[in-house]
Amino acid sequence: MTQLKPILSHLDPIIPSSTGKFKSSPYAFHRLRFHPRLTLWSFLFLFFLLIFFFCSPPAASSGGNKRRSLTNTSHSERARLSPNWPAKARNSARTQSKSGFTVLVTGAAGFVGTHVAVALKNRGDGVVGLDNFNNYYESGLKKARKSLLERQGVYIIEADINDGDLLSKLFEVVHFTHVMHLAAQAGVRYAMQNPSSYIHSNVNGFVSLLEACKNANPQPSIVWASSSSVYGLNSKVPFSEKDRTDQPASLYAATKKAGEEIAHTYNHIYGLSITGLRFFTVYGPWGRPDMAYYFFTKDILRGKEIKIFEGADHATVARDFTYIDDVVKGCLAALDTAKKSTGSGGKKRGAAQLRIYNLGNTSPVPVGKLVSILEKLLKVKARKKVLAMPRNGDVLFTHANISLARKELGYKPTTDLETGLKKFVKWYLSYYGAKKKSSSW
């Protein structure tokens, strides 16, 4: 405050005493121009303001609760593309056997994308990744996932799914048999701060991708990530694929629901084979820092207070937390059972497959229990504050009925929350421990 005093005292002469005076800005400007000390202080003030503005890191990941501009325009992405990307993509797309799939994984530097890409590569499929590396959460984590994929022989093209020209070229360079579409603007609560990013990625981006797929010859089969959030205010449990999904509680949910309708249209008009997977709060190693289990871990370790939401009349908030390895198995099973698209070059030649499945754990756990498991694993008592769930798009509980996925995909989750969190915590401590040692954390 004392440092501000000189600045403020020099600003005093130009602070108007009434709104009327404020309008006479030429007067203030005159005073500003001809007061040398004031000019010096003003320039210094502006200089430090600009330094602060340009040097500020992107907002912290905890809860993803600050508005950030996402660097996901196609022009900026195009500028970052390596000139020999077609050769690298062709090489990465090579399969180990004749029957192997050639899969484009969008959102490959994301949490689920990285795991799915590795699993496909490990079983001998050809995999090309695509990711815009936006700054929704710490970019270092996305880069680390990219390095992991590179070590496995998966090349990631740094581009946005909204870049239609790039996608058309990519589908000419590589004849993909399948597309695993995982690129999306995730996060339920962040939608209130940056609504347009959800339209950009989950609506426009999805349409841009489907346009490229429908024009491709051959057309690939598509498996994509929808969300448990489409059940919204539905109160019938467990959530079945037949239940209503017309009451989304967040814009995120609304864009995922829109995606399901858009999928129907492209299937109907162009004969694209499309499978949507409704993920239920997926967690695990290499996870997303904007999710509660992840930033609770970070905050518990730092002694920072965590907020635990509860419903009206102290109702428990619970989630059907689903471990990443189980979800990956579901994704691969969806790819394996996907029928071929029936069209080619934009023309439908027959009815095509259209499916939707819940991929949950079918065992909801209260958020309070999640915290007590973390306390046990981290051996640290959390500083907890229980408060009413804010009106921010959250829903009280999720619970998946997985009978359809079990029957048609052979999907069978086997990891309970404690086992899954144990693996997450182990990864977390080694990842950030190693980063701390290299003093970049």
For 198, how many CA atoms within 13 A lie in the half-sphere containing its CB? 21
The yes or no reply on residue 137 touching ligand UGB (CB under 6 A) is: no
3-state secondary structure of 297: helix
Backbone angles phi, psi at 183, to 5 degrees: -70, 130
Query: Taking a C-beta distance cutoff of 8 angstroms, is the pair 74, 310 a contact?
Result: no
- Applying CB under 6 A, which part among 122-130, 306-314, 373-381, 401-409 lies near ligand UGB? 306-314
Question: Can residue 238 be called a binding residue for ligand UGB (CB under 6 A)?
Answer: no
Residues annotated catalytic, as ranges: 252
Contact flag: residue 394 with ligand UGB (CB under 6 A): yes
The whole-angstrom separation of Cα 342 and Cα 340 is 6
- If one asks whether residue 291 binds ligand UGB (CB under 6 A), the answer comes out as yes
Does position 330 bind ligand UGB by CB under 6 A? no
Instruction: Tell me the angle at which helices 139-151 and 111-122 cross, rounded to the nearest 10 degrees.
Output: 0
Under rule CB under 6 A, residue 202 binds ligand UGB: no
Please report, as residue ranges, which positions from 147 to 176 form the binding site for ligand UGB (by CB under 6 A): none
Q: Which residues contact 437 (CB under 8 A, 6 or more apart)?
A: none
Instruction: Work out which of 130, 308, 327, 377 binds ligand UGB, going by CB under 6 A.
Output: 308
Which residue number, 62 or 341, has a Cβ lying nearer to ligand UGB?
62
Angle of CA points 265, 185, 254, to nearest 5°: 50
DSSP 8-class letter at 439: T
Distance of alpha carbon 313 from its chain centroid, rounded?
32
Calpha distance 407→9 (Å, rounded): 75
Q: What is the DSSP letter of 393?
A: S
**DSSP tag of 349:** -
**Only segment of 102-110, 277-285, 328-336, 430-438 that touches ligand UGB (CB under 6 A):** 277-285
Separation CA 369–CA 379 (nearest Å): 15
Comparison of 166 and 180: residue with beta carbon closer to ligand UGB: 180
Q: According to the binding rule CB under 6 A, does residue 292 interact with ligand UGB?
A: yes
Task: Please pick, from the candidates 319, 329, 348, 355, the single residue that binds ligand UGB as defined by CB under 6 A.
Answer: 319
Residue number, 41 or 309, with CB nearest to ligand UGB: 309
State yes or no: residue 201 binds ligand UGB (CB under 6 A): no
Site membership for ligand UGB, residue 411 (CB under 6 A): no
Name the one range near ligand UGB by CB under 6 A: 23-31, 84-92, 185-193, 205-213.
185-193
Is there binding between residue 245 and ligand UGB (CB under 6 A)? Answer: no
Which of 89, 188, 207, 405 is in the footprint of ligand UGB by CB under 6 A? 188
Confirm or reject binding of residue 231 to ligand UGB (CB under 6 A): no
Rounded to the nearest 5 percent, the helix, strand and coil shares of the chain are: 50, 15, 35
Residue 178 contacts ligand UGB per CB under 6 A: no
250 lies in the binding site for ligand UGB (CB under 6 A) = no
Q: Give yes or no for residue 72 binding ligand UGB (CB under 6 A).
A: no
| Contact with ligand UGB (CB under 6 A) among 94, 307, 340, 435 | 307
Q: How many residues bind ligand UGB (CB under 6 A)?
A: 21
Answer for the pair 335, 359: CB distance below 8 angstroms, yes or no: no
Q: Residue-wise over 63-75: b if at least 16 C-beta within 10 A, else e?
A: bbbeebebbbebe
Task: Establish if 187 lies at the interface with ligand UGB (CB under 6 A).
Answer: yes
- Residue 364 as a binder of ligand UGB (CB under 6 A): the answer is no
Interface with ligand UGB (CB under 6 A), residue from 38, 63, 132, 251: 63
Q: Is the CB of residue 280 less than 8 Å from the CB of residue 398?
A: yes
Coil, strand or helix: which one is 218? coil
Tokens of 118: 């590795």
C-beta closer to ligand UGB: residue 102 or 134: 134
The answer to whether residues 105 and 129 touch, using CB atoms and an 8 Å cutoff, is yes
Find the binder of ligand UGB among 367, 377, 402, 409 (CB under 6 A): 367
Q: Which of 101, 280, 323, 424 binds ligand UGB (CB under 6 A)?
A: 280
Q: Is residue 228 a contact point for ligand UGB (CB under 6 A)?
A: yes
Look up residue 428 and give its two tokens: 């977390």
SS3 state of residue 49: helix
Count CB-CB contacts under 10 A for residue 45: 14
Question: Rule CB under 6 A: is residue 251 a binding residue for ligand UGB?
Answer: no
Interface with ligand UGB, residue 186, by CB under 6 A: yes
Token duo for residue 334: 């969806």
- Catalog residues that contact ligand UGB under the rule CB under 6 A: 63, 186-188, 227-229, 279-281, 291-293, 307-309, 317, 319, 367, 389, 394
